[in-house]
C-alpha cells in the first residue's frame, strides 16, 4: 500500500487527535528513517526525544528479542528480574534510592504528584497539598498533569480541573518565594522546558529552588521526561546544576523506544507510599525493563553523553551563526542536543520545507524550531541539516 492509502485508512479509523504530517514512516536505523515509498530522512525529532540511542539500536533490539522469547509479562505480585536490574542501574547513577515504574511521562508525573501529597500528609505539619508549577511547562495529558501544565491552551474544555496547583513564571525565584504558603507541598519543574520552547534556566535558579525547598521543608520534583537519559549531555539534566531534586520523573527514552515511565526518589520520601498506595499493571514489565537495561547501558557505555556534548556545542555554534545571518531569528538556545531556534514568525512551513528536503524537525509554541536528534548524530549530519535550513530560511526572508 502507498502513503495515500495508509493515510486514508488512518483518517477513517484512527481518532483525529493529532495534526499529522503527510508522511508514513515504516523503517528506522540510527539517525535515519524511511517512508513507505522508500524516501530517506535524517531524523532530528527522534520520536520527540524517545529514540535517544537512534532507531532500532542493536542492543535494545537484541534485549527485546531475548526477553520476548523468555517472559513478556508477569504481574507486580511477583519479583521481576529486569525491573530489579533497571532500578539498581538508575539508582547507581543518580541521587535516588528507589524507583517506581509505570508506562508514560504523564503517569510518572501523576505518581510524583500523588507521592508529594502523601508525603506531605504523613511528614509535614498542617494540610499541605498544593504544588507550584511553571508557566509554559508541560507535564502530560491526564487530568492532574494537564492541570500541572502551566499553559491554558491545554486546559480548555476540561474543567473542573484538579485543585491544588499554582503557576509562577519560569526562572523567577522571587515569584516562587511569594507563591509558597501553608498549603504548599512541592515544586514541580522541568529543568529545561521542552514543549514550552526549549527554555533554559539562568545560572543559579535551580539551586535557589533547592534552597527554598530546604528552607520550607517542601519537595522539589524534576520532570526530566524530555531532558533526561542523556539528552543534555549528562545522564540526568540535574547533574549540570550542582544540586539534586527529591523526585525525578523519566519516560520517553528510558527504554530505547519501548513505552515506559518511572520516578526516582529517596527512601525517606517514598516510604510515604505503603503497599497498595500506588500501582500500575504494566509498570516495570519484563519486556520494557529489559529494553531499559539495554538502553541505559548503551547510553553509558557507548560514548553517547560525550558525543551529545561535543556535537551539541557544534550544533549550537552553527545555529548562532545562522542567527547573525537572519534578522527574523530571535534567539537560539538549549543544552546538549535539545536545541531551539525562536523565530519572529510561525515555523510550521519551515518544518514542511525541511521535510521535503529529507530532514525531520519539529516546531513548538508555534515559532520555536526544536532540534532533538539521536545522541549518536554526527557533526557532518548536523552540517547537512544546517545547510538545508539555511537554504529554506533564505527563501522565506
* Residues comprising the chain, all counted: 397
Is residue 223 part of the contact set for ligand PLP (CB under 6 A)?
Answer: yes
Is 263 among the catalytic positions? no
The stretch among 105-113, 298-306, 328-336, 362-370 that binds ligand PLP (CB under 6 A) is 105-113
Is residue 111 part of the contact set for ligand PLP (CB under 6 A)?
Answer: no
Q: What is the nearest approach in angstroms of ligand PLP to the Cβ of residue 396?
A: 27
Using the 8-state DSSP alphabet, how is residue 152 labeled? G
Is residue 110 part of the contact set for ligand PLP (CB under 6 A)?
Answer: no
CB-wise, 63 or 198, nearer to ligand PLP? 198
Sign of CA dihedral 294, 258, 49, 137: negative
Give kind and range of the element (H or E) at residue 133: strand 130-134
Are the C-beta atoms of 142 and 150 separated by less than 8 Å? no
Q: What is the nearest approach in angstroms of ligand PLP to the Cβ of residue 366?
A: 16
Which three cell numbers, joined as nine digits, stand for 107? 503517569
Are the C-beta atoms of 140 and 149 separated by less than 8 Å? yes
Catalytic residue, chosen from 44, 100, 101, 138, is 138
Task: Please name which of 72, 28, 63, 81 lies closest in space to residue 294, comparing C-alpha atoms.
Answer: 63
Is residue 225 part of the contact set for ligand PLP (CB under 6 A)?
Answer: yes
Is residue 135 part of the contact set for ligand PLP (CB under 6 A)?
Answer: no
Strand spans (E) along 71-228: 98-102, 130-134, 165-168, 184-189, 219-223
Which three cell numbers, joined as nine digits, stand for 109? 508525573
Whole-number Cα distances in Å, 178 to 132, 184, 391: 11, 11, 47
CB-wise, 196 or 347, nearer to ligand PLP? 196
Determine the size of the site formed for ligand PLP (CB under 6 A).
Answer: 15
CB-wise, 63 or 251, nearer to ligand PLP? 251
Q: What is the nearest approach in angstroms of ligand PLP to the Cβ of residue 190?
A: 5
Is 138 among the catalytic positions? yes
Chain residues that interact with ligand PLP, rule: CB under 6 A: 48, 104-106, 109, 138-140, 190, 194-195, 223, 225-226, 251
Amino acid at each position: 500500500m502507498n502513503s495515500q492509502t495508509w493515510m486514508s485508512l488512518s483518517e477513517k479509523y484512527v481518532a483525529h487527535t493529532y495534526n499529522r504530517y503527510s508522511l508514513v514512516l515504516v523503517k528506522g536505523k540510527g539517525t535515519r528513517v524511511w517512508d513507505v515509498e522508500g524516501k530517506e530522512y535524517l531524523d532530528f525529532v527522534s520520536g520527540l526525544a524517545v529514540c535517544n540511542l537512534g532507531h532500532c539500536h542493536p542492543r535494545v533490539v537484541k534485549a527485546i528479542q531475548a526477553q520476548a522469547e523468555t517472559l513478556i509479562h508477569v504481574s507486580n505480585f511477583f519479583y521481576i528480574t529486569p525491573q530489579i536490574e533497571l532500578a539498581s542501574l538508575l539508582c547507581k547513577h543518580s541521587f535516588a534510592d528507589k524507583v517506581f515504574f509505570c508506562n508514560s511521562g504523564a503517569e510518572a508525573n501523576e505518581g510524583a504528584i500523588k507521592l508529594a501529597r502523601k508525603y506531605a500528609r504523613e511528614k509535614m505539619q498542617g494540610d499541605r497539598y498544593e504544588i507550584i508549577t511553571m508557566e509554559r511547562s508541560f507535564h502530560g495529558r491526564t487530568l492532574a498533569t494537564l492541570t500541572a501544565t502551566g499553559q491554558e491552551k491545554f486546559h480548555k474544555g476540561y474543567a473542573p480541573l484538579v485543585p491544588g496547583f499554582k503557576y509562577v513564571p519560569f526562572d523567577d525565584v522571587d515569584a516562587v518565594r511569594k507563591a509558597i504558603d501553608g498549603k504548599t507541598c512541592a515544586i514541580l519543574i522541568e529543568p529545561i522546558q521542552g514543549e514550552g520552547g526549549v527554555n533554559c534556566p539562568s545560572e543559579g535558579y535551580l539551586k535557589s529552588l533547592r534552597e527554598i525547598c530546604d528552607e520550607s521543608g517542601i519537595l522539589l520534583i524534576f520532570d526530566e521526561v524530555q531532558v533526561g537519559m542523556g539528552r543534555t549531555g549528562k545522564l540526568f539534566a540535574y547533574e549540570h546544576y550542582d544540586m539534586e531534586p527529591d523526585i525525578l520523573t523519566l519516560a520517553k527514552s528510558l527504554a530505547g523506544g519501548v513505552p515506559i515511565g518511572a520516578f526516582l526518589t529517596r527512601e525517606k520520601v517514598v516510604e510515604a507510599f505503603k503497599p497498595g498506595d500506588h500501582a500500575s499493571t504494566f509498570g516495570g514489565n519484563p519486556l520494557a525493563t529489559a529494553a531499559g537495561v539495554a538502553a541505559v547501558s548503551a547510553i553509558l557505555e557507548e560514548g553517547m553523553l560525550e558525543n551529545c556534548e561535543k556535537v551539541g556545542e557544534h550544533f549550537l555554534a552553527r545555529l548562532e551563526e545562522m542567527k547573525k545571518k537572519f534578522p527574523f531569528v530571535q534567539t537560539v538556545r538549549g543544552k546538549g542536543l535539545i536545541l531551539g531556534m525562536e523565530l519572529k514568525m510561525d515555523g510550521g512551513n519551515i518544518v514542511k520545507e525541511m521535510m521535503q528536503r529529507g530532514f525531520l524537525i519539529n516546531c513548538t509554541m508555534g515559532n520555536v524550531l526544536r532540534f532533538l536528534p539521536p545522541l549518536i548524530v554526527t557533526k557532518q549530519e548536523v552540517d547537512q541539516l544546517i545547510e538545508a535550513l539555511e537554504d529554506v530560511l533564505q527563501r522565506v526572508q
